[in-house]
């Protein structure tokens, strides 16, 4: 945190992480959905 001086840097840092998390969510959600419904008949 000590390297962040400006709001711009802060936003860049946090948004970078958030975009990665969003990609993971986009992959993870369908996978979890399949797991969740894996035992459902039909």
Partner 1 sequence: MSISRRKFLGWMGAAGVVGATSETARAASNKQFKGYADSNAVLHDMTRCIGCRRCEAACNTVNELPAPERPFDDLKVLEKQRRTTAQAYTIVNQHFPDGSGRPPVFVKKQCNHCLEPACASACFVKAFTKTPEGAVIYNADVCVGCRYCMVACPFDVPAYEYHKALDPKIMKCTMCHPRILEGKLPGCVEACPTEALVYGKRDELIRVARDRIHTFPERYLDHIYGEHEMGGTSWLYLTGVPFASLGLREDLGNKAAGEFTSGALGAVPIVIGLWPVLLTGIYAINKRKEKIAAEEQAAAVASAVAQTRDEAEGRLKAAMEKAKQDEDAAVAREVKKALEEAAKARQDTGQTGSGDEGQA
Partner 2 sequence: MTQEPTPTTSRYLTPFNVVAGIVVVVGLIITVLRFTGGLSTVTHLSDDNPWGIWIGFDLLVGVALAAGGYVTSAAVYIFGMKRFHAAVRPAILTGFLGYALVVLALHYDVGRPWRLPYPFLVSQGTTSLLFEVAACVALYLTVLFIEFSPAAMEWLGLKRARGLVVRLTLLLTIFGVMLSTLHQSSLGALFLIAPAKLHPLWYSSYIPIYFFITSIIAGLSMVIFESGLSHKFFKDKMDEEHLAGKNVVMLGFGKAAAWVLAGYFFIKVIGIAADNQWHYLATGYGAWYLVELLGFVALPAFMYAVGVREKNTTIIRWTAAWTVLGIVVNRFNICLVAFNWYLPSDQRYFPHWMEIGISVFIVTIGVLAFRFIVTRMPILYAHPDYEAH
For partner 1, the binding residues (CB under 8 A) are 4-12, 14-15, 18, 21-22, 25-26, 29-30, 33
Cα–Cα distance measured from residue 33 to residue 28, given in angstroms and rounded to the nearest whole number: 8
The verdict on 30 binding partner 2 (CB under 8 A) reads yes
| Token pair in block for residue 11 | 């936003």
Residue with token string 């969740």:
36
DSSP 6: S
- Is position 11 an interface residue for partner 2 (rule: CB under 8 A)? yes
Member of 4, 16, 27, 32 binding partner 2 (CB under 8 A) = 16
Q: Output 2 or 8, the one with its CB closest to partner 2.
A: 8
């Amino acid at each position: 945190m000590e390297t962040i001086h400006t709001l711009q840097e802060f936003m860049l840092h946090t948004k970078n992480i958030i975009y990665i998390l969003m990609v993971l969510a986009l992959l993870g959600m369908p996978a979890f959905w399949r797991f969740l419904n894996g035992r459902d008949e039909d």
